[in-house]
Amino acid sequence: MQESCADWRGIMACGYNGRMHALSVQNLTKTYRNGVQALKGIDLAVEEGDFFAMLGPNGAGKTTLIGIVTSLVNKSGGAVSVLGYDIDRDLDRAKSLIGIVPQEINFNMFESPETIVVNQAGFYGVERSVARVRAEKYLKQLQLWDKRKGMARALSGGMKRRLMIARALMHEPRLLILDEPTAGVDIEIRRSMWDFLRQINQQGTTIILTTHYLEEAENLCRNIAIIDGGRIIESDRMSNLLRRLHTESFVLTLRNPLAFAPTLDGYPLKRIDDHTLEVEVSKEQNLNDIFARLSAQGVEVLSMRNKVNRLEEMFMRLVENRQA
Amino acid sequence: MSNAQQTLSSIRWVGLRTILIREYGRIIRIWGQTLVPPAVTTTLYFVIFGSLVGRRIGEMGGFDYRAFIAPGLIMMAVITNSYGNVVSSFFGAKFGKHIEELLVSPLPSWVIILGYVGGGLMRGLMVGGVVTVVALIFAKLHVYHLGLIIAAVVLTSLVFSLAGLLNAIFAKNFDQVNWIPSFVLTPLTYFGGVFYSVSLLPGWAKQVSMANPILHMVNAFRYGFLGTSDVNVGVAFAIMIGCVAVLFAVAMVLLTRGTGIRD
């Protein structure tokens, strides 16, 4: 039975604003047979319609968490509900609302892309006539339509990843979980996948994304949880998290060569080579001031970029703090 | 209709049909591995055992030897192919990880079992049909009771499809997929009265043979053709129905628990 926000059983399944949680996880634990404790009491809530990032180093427990939600891994303790359906009581109904793009390729390499997606729709109760129409829609959107008839093993790595996205969308899930969907995909295809996922999210599908490309999470996601050692070590809005970053490092490319780094009071400045400077800027300082003072010293800046992705810097600090 | 509105029973029905269509597609796609070899093997059995050796044997159980072995050969093909279809399809899906397509779907264990067992049944019956056609070239087949023939072949195919599923659930590598067919199934089939009547055996061997379920299946099937059997046909059907019930229950427990497929 689906929990409702107006119902006492539904309290954990809903957010403070009365909206249903797409995913609600309480005190989730998992200990594997070999004794490895992969999850040590995870609490997590993802609002319906959100684009949610789940980050963490390798072995942090992300894939175990996703495995439990999709029933590929049996949990040791705790509770999980998907759009109000508890996986202990209404597993089949909960699973009917989830689309999953796993980390590893897991379709039959000897079947055609069209057969793979049409069959997958069938496993979710979509009639074949409807599935064929959807297959055309999603295979075209993901630029796989021309490849629909050949064997899936002949597809390139990027195409295989896109096929898994098409497959996950065939039953039009309300919650789409993507476990490193762009791993090993070239930048052009990655960007087109980002546009596609944004579009899907704007149409109302809640998306949970795990990725090692932090630029991807920063670009796409509104909320974020960082998981490490089987625990959530941070969960916040992306903007709030990035605001907590006190300093940022920028790399400046200069028009003319410099023999030594100029001195700017209050700004640690480092000369990398004769055309490159690196400067550290805190939240209280501003870039206009740096440009004005460099210009006054006759230093002309051609371009500027972040030394490290902001989320990457925050991520590293949180993980390192925890390890310390 | 979105999934949230669709009833679970309609999801299950479409899901079951999809698994059956996929299994049928697999049997047809690799017809050179699924449908042709049994026809070739049966032809060889009929040529060597039926025509060459059989001519010297004369009659078995009061019937022409070729007519006597035909039901056994059909049943042997049904057993091997029902088992082989499910064990290779399910283990292949496990090995290639595409079993996860079904595990993450809203289909309960019993639908997945019915889908794979239905695939085994389809192949068993298709191969049974092919072998019957070959048998008709070499032997004159009587039909004593069509209903019993159909019941025996369907139940036997179900038993070995379920057994193949259990083998695939436990198997961790391709060796373990081949162990049971090579070291259990083949000897039991050859000692299951396919080529001879157990009435020819000495007392102790006859008693041991009675513990072999394949002997009962082959004889129940032969009874449908010839109207004669070495075993009590009622007991044979009870054994088949019992095996189906027990193996289905075990498969349900294992699949629901996630043995061999879930962490």
In this prediction the pTM is: 0.86
Q: What is the pLDDT of residues B240-257, one digit of tens each?
A: 999 999 999 999 999 999
Q: What is the pLDDT of residues B141-174, one digit of tens each?
A: 889 999 999 999 999 999 999 999 999 999 999 8
Beta-carbon separation of B263 and A98 below 8 A: no
What is the model's pLDDT at position A307?
A: 74
* B5 in A contact zone (CB under 8 Å): no
Which uninterrupted H or E stretch holds A302?
A: strand A301-306
pLDDT for residue A319 is more than 90:
no
* Residue B164 C-alpha, separation from nearest chain A C-alpha, in angstroms: 20
Q: Are B103 and A72 in contact (CB under 8 A)?
A: yes
Q: Are A179 and A210 in contact (CB under 8 A)?
A: yes
Chain B residue numbers touching A125 (CB-CB < 8 A): 3, 6, 10-15, 106
From A77, A80, A37, select the one nearest A61 (Cα to Cα). Answer: A37
From B117, B126, B125, select the one nearest B86 (Cα to Cα). Answer: B117
Q: Are B18 and A123 in contact (CB under 8 A)?
A: yes
Beta-carbon separation of B96 and A106 below 8 A: yes
Beta-carbon separation of B100 and A96 below 8 A: no
DSSP assignment letter at A263: P
Average pLDDT, chain A: 88
Beta-carbon separation of B96 and A109 below 8 A: yes
Other CB atoms within 10 A of residue B257 CB? 12
Q: Mean per-residue pLDDT for A285-290?
A: 86
From A102, A319, A308, select the one nearest A226 (Cα to Cα). Answer: A319
Q: Mean per-residue pLDDT for A95-111?
A: 95
Assign 3-state DSSP to chain A and report helix, strand, coil percentages, each to 5: 35, 30, 35
Q: Which of A92, A105, A128 sits opposite B8 (nearest CB)?
A: A92
Beta-carbon separation of B106 and A95 below 8 A: yes
Is the ipTM above a cut-off of 0.95?
no
Amino acid at B52: L
pLDDT for residue A17 is more than 80:
no
Mutation pick from B105, B109, B254, B255 vs chain A, by most beta carbons of A within 10 Å, is B105
Pick from A276-290, B12-26, B117-131: least confident? A276-290
Q: How many CA atoms lie within 13 A of B2 on its CB side?
A: 10
* Residue A127 C-alpha, separation from nearest chain B C-alpha, in angstroms: 7
Q: What is the pLDDT of residues B171-227, one digit of tens each?
A: 999 899 989 989 999 999 999 989 899 988 888 999 999 999 999 999 999 999 999
* Residue A218 C-alpha, separation from nearest chain B C-alpha, in angstroms: 29
Helical pair B109-138 and B233-257, crossing angle rounded to 10 deg: 140
Confidence of residue B16 (pLDDT cuts 50, 70, 90): very high
Q: Measure the CA–CA gap between A114 and A102, rounded to whole angstroms.
A: 19
Mutation pick from A1, A3, A123 vs chain B, by most beta carbons of B within 10 Å, is A123
* B105 in A contact zone (CB under 8 Å): yes
Domain ranges of chain A: 245-323
What is the model's pLDDT at position B141?
A: 87
Q: Which of A74, A119, A173 sits opposite B263 (nearest CB)?
A: A74
What is the model's pLDDT at position A76?
A: 95
Beta-carbon separation of A96 and B6 below 8 A: yes
Beta-carbon separation of B14 and A72 below 8 A: no
Q: What is the pLDDT of residues A292-301, one digit of tens each?
A: 888 988 899 9
Beta-carbon separation of A119 and B22 below 8 A: yes
Pairing type for strands A37-47 and A21-31 reads antiparallel
Residue with the larger pLDDT of the pair A245 and B71: B71
| CATH architecture of the domain covering A245-323 | 2-Layer Sandwich (3.30)
What is the model's pLDDT at position A323?
A: 65
Which uninterrupted H or E stretch holds A37?
A: strand A37-47
Confidence of residue B72 (pLDDT cuts 50, 70, 90): very high
Chain B residue numbers touching A122 (CB-CB < 8 A): 14-15, 17-18, 21
